Structure 1
């Protein structure tokens, strides 16, 4: 059952990360604001060693991948991160 839970969490994270990255290129041009937010967020998560996989106790074999993906998620801002936490928490509650 724990493996199914991890698959659900990774699915939510993958979709969220993809939706964030799609915002970088809009209407045929690069969105400088989104790129700036991505760069700043990734720098912050690297410097603070913030890794969502580590926080969720999910094994990751690629160094810095979790930190970079966390930076991408953080770049969306506090409302998005709050909504993501609610989704993940609901999945944890359903598991128990």
Structure 2
């Protein structure tokens, strides 16, 4: 995958994680429902080894960090995770298509 596309994917993941963390505090108060969803998401990823950073081509240098960050992302729900993964997949496919066009010229 193109390095620029990888950085764009990483930027999108970082923004999504930050927005997820911000949702825990609703008008200055702790939202236990959102916190619970985050804990369930992180626990599921730790137990299954799900790691979006590795899938995006960034194997983490710190054990379990990719799984924790993936848990934060999936805590937002299936629609959000689907949209994020679809965006990553489309970016990867477009990068491959653009690379093959350059190689055939």
Question: Smaller-chain TM-score range?
Answer: over 0.9
Equivalence map 1:1-96=2 (5 Å): 2-96=2-96
Query: What is the rounded CA distance, in whole Å, between the counterparts of 2:55 and 2:86 in structure 1?
Result: 15
Query: What is the rounded CA distance, in whole Å, between the counterparts of 1:38 and 1:59 in structure 2?
Result: 22
Q: CA deviation at 1:72?
A: 0.3
The structure with the larger Rg is: 2
Q: CA deviation at 1:94?
A: 1.8
Query: What is the rounded CA distance, in whole Å, between the counterparts of 2:31 and 2:67 in structure 1?
Result: 23
Query: What is the rounded CA distance, in whole Å, between the counterparts of 2:74 and 2:56 in structure 1?
Result: 16
Runs ≥4 residues deviating over 6 A: none
Q: CA deviation at 1:73?
A: 0.5
Number of equivalences: 96
Any idea what SS the aligned residue of 2:39 has? helix
Deviation per CA, 1:44-93: give whole Å up to 9, x if none: 11011111122233222111110000000010010000110121122112
- TM-score normalised to structure 1 length: 0.92
Unaligned runs of 5+ in 1: none
Deviation per CA, 1:22-57: give whole Å up to 9, x if none: 100011100000000001111111011111122233
- TM-score normalised to structure 2 length: 0.85
